[in-house]
Structure 1
Amino acid sequence: MPTSRRAFLAAAGLTAVAGCLGNSASKTPSGPLSLPTAAERLPLPASPERLRDAARSGGPSKDGIPSIDDPEFVASDRAGFLADGDPVFGVVRDGVAKAYPQKILAQHEIVNDELAGAPVSVTYCPLTGTVQGFERGNTTFGVSGRLINSNLVMYDRHTETWWPQILATSIPGPWNGDPEIRSLREFRLIWTTWTQWTDQHPDTRVLSTDTGHAKNYGRDPYGSYNPRGGYYANDNLLFGALNESDRFAPKRVVMGLRTPDGAAAFPKDTLRQAGQLDGTVGGTPVLAVYDDRYDTGFAYLNPDGQSFDRDGTQFVDATGTSHDPDALPLTSVHTFDAMWFAWAGYYPETDVFQ
């Protein structure tokens, strides 16, 4: 098995390797750290020290995969580099829609941006198929060059603490061996296609290929999601999973969610077929609903077992009131796409509903 992403990509015959690698000068913020954190710490699958010991080099060195620290955006009618079916990661904040193309994020993994004036980091790990948004306060995040469970390990440039992306929680690392263990404040990015996003948000702004880095954004160096190819087209992993599970194919896409009481996941294709699924997380009932507009799902705590009838793209409650899938009158739970091996590797005791 290849021991680095560079070796894997070369062996796979994917010639856009240089687009994934490079050097970036770190921008170290000044002054005391001000980092928005979650009200409660998210569950860790092991001790922070064990997670640190499970880290391995992914090939590139620290900042060898350069974050985008001064992002530029263009109007949707100037995004000729995007095809209709290209994956994008979308978010709306204070009525302003933004889209981050997967083909750009595959070569940078982190965009340090602002949404409605709030500093944020948009992060993507190609090896685990996970996109996560975080409030970043007055720091920025960079790519450490290390992987845990094949997943991106970020570091903040204020304290040099490690932050595994899926876990969204700090752990010790070689540059800060005794950090405060806390979880980042997350926000949802919708994994969808360019045409689906622009159908709903024709005035969206889209991350420009003018990133300040000499990259070929015409190809994802790992392959392609549409049509699927390269790394995404088979179940071979570059690095072993933290915990192995054969319940589903390793790269089957699930949507994961966590509370301080536990973790749960549901296969995305099963939700697509069923329209809605019932399950539990940490003993609390959960309802997941499918959103045709974006081909995604949303999850809610449902302790009272409320039921909804699906009517086209709407969900109708017991009073006859219709709701969009992302606006049910329940407590929403942050959820995001992940490859099964990555989710089960971090959360081997995860609840699964399908």
Structure 2
Amino acid sequence: MRDGQQINGLSRRHVIRTAGSVGLAALAGCLNRSDAFGRGADEDTSVGEPPIADRSLPEEYTTDELEDASLSGGPGQDGIPAIDEPQFISAETPPTNLADGDPVFGVELNGESKAYPQYILVWHEVVNDRLGGESVAVTYCPLTGTAQGFSRGDGEFGVSGRLINSNLVMFDRGTETWWPQILARGIRGPHEGAYLEEVQVTWTTWERWRKQHPETVVLTEETGHIRDYGADPYGGYNPRSGYYENENTLFSPLATDDRFPAKEVVVGARNADGSMAVPKATLRERVVVDGTMSDVPYVTVYDEKLDTGYVYRNPDTESVESDGGDITVDGDEYDADALPLEREIAFDAMWFAWYGYYPSTEVHE
């Protein structure tokens, strides 16, 4: 932690250590590893490994460069405790602290829908869960504004306590490999150089998610840890304030670009073709944004119902247009999330964080 780097007059270390009145020990859940995982001393604490994806993503830094760029965020490994036994309730009786305009991270998988409130995940950053019959990890980094999902198989993820490019570095408990969240790539440990399988997560509001997914359940504050839920140590999103509103970053990015304000939200996607970003404000205005990665055509479309964007690979240059909010492909109408094209994993991110990891990113406006 660099002493001079602060947020709202307080360092990240100080913010976390003084969370509520319970101190660092309570933040970690307790003082030993098995209790921090929410298990008793006599229970089997062995875990497997996450599945490795057969994929290729842009690599603009070597493993050594990334590891050298890692910094302590304050609390150590599992000092920010993942939620390992998440509890959910129906949309009809949501947590009292959850307002309609509050951000949630929505996941729909194999017909099952869940919402994970930002105000809860800001204290935990990782939820090890099962959804649609699959084991997943839903993750959130407050400093980079990124919510991402990963398949975890028999594995479990935790918070390493390290940051790279201000971004959460996860670790898997089976191998203790480090996984920077945005990169989805192992950089230290047995899975160095490997990639995780990703699950689509939608950053939206509780009101929007509930309306589109009335059958959804929502994560509760029954996390097994004592936290001041409803009080965000970094500021707030409803309305936006503190770190989320100003242009100060806690740590210097790996690379910088001033085309957009540091914390402007972009919709980012990356695959073997390269990386791309679409300013979310532009997407809201235009609804359909065309561009390329490595000369391969792509199209990003806006979903007004969820205030989110979807990225599609469009190698045959199908005609994608918007007329009054409806999306058409070669004249036929489709829902924004169901175009007859190859859809890519995409997620919201603060511009400084996206560009820091992907300085060769192509920007579509």
Under TM normalisation by the shorter chain, which class is it? over 0.9
Q: Does 1:87 align with 2:103?
A: yes
Given the alignment of the two structures, is residue 243 of structure 1 paired with residue 259 of structure 2, yes or no? no
User: 1:4, 1:59 within 8 Å by CA — same for their partners in 2?
Assistant: no
Match of 1:77 in 2: 92
- C-alpha separation in 1, matches of 2:152 and 2:13: 34
Structure 1 pair 179–333 and aligned structure 2 pair: CA distance change class (3 A)? closer
1:252 aligns with 2:255: no
The AA in structure 1 aligned to 2:64 is E
CA contact (8 A) 2:20 2:227 kept: no
Q: Is the 8 A contact 1:19 1:217 kept in 2?
A: no
In the alignment, is residue 8 of structure 1 matched against residue 11 of structure 2? Answer: yes
Aligned partner of 2:41 in structure 1 is none
Alignment-derived partner of residue 136 in structure 1: 152
SS at match of 2:281: helix
Q: Deviations over 1:158-194 (max 9, x none)?
A: 011100000000001xxx3x54421000011110001
Counterpart among 217, 224, 232 of residue 212 in structure 1: 224
Other-structure match for 1:61: 76
Alignment of 1:217-236 (within 5 A): 217-236=229-248
**Alignment pair present for 1:345 and 2:356:** yes
How far, CA to CA, are the matches of 1:20 and 1:266 in structure 2?
A: 40
5 Å matches for 1:178-197?
A: 179-197=191-209
- Give 1:103's aligned residue: 119
Which residue pairs with 2:169 in the alignment? 153
> Matched residues in 2 for 1:208 and 1:116: separation?
19
18-27 vs 278-287, which deviates more? 18-27
Deviation, 1:309, is 2.8
> Structure 2 vs 1, CA of residues 4 and 64 (structure 1 numbering), >3 Å: closer, same or farther?
farther
Identity, in percent, stands at: 52
Q: Note the aligned Cα RMSD (angstroms).
A: 2.3
Q: Does the aligned pair in 2 maintain the 1:76–1:203 contact within 8 Å?
A: yes
Q: Contact (CA 8 Å) 2:161, 2:169: kept in 1 or not?
A: yes
Tell me the distance in 2 between the aligned counterparts of 1:280 and 1:218: 41
1:331-342 pair list within 5 angstroms: 331-342=342-353
Q: Which runs of 5+ in 2 are unaligned?
A: 38-43
Q: For 1:23, which of 13, 24, 28 is the aligned residue? A: 28
Change (3 A) 1:90 1:19: farther
Partner-residue secondary structure (3-state), 2:195? coil
* Aligned positions, number: 348
Letter paired with 2:148: Q
The aligned residue for residue 327 of structure 1 is: 338
Label 1:285 to 1:208 Cα distance change in 2 as closer, same or farther (>3 A). Answer: same
Give the structure 2 partner of residue 309 of structure 1. Answer: 321
- In structure 2, what is the Cα distance between the partners aligned to 1:18 and 1:46? 40
Answer whether contact 2:288 2:321 (CA < 8 A) is retained: no
CA contact 1:18–1:215 (8 Å) conserved in 2:
no
Q: Is the 8 A contact 1:9 1:15 kept in 2?
A: no
Letter of the 1:119 partner, please give it.
S
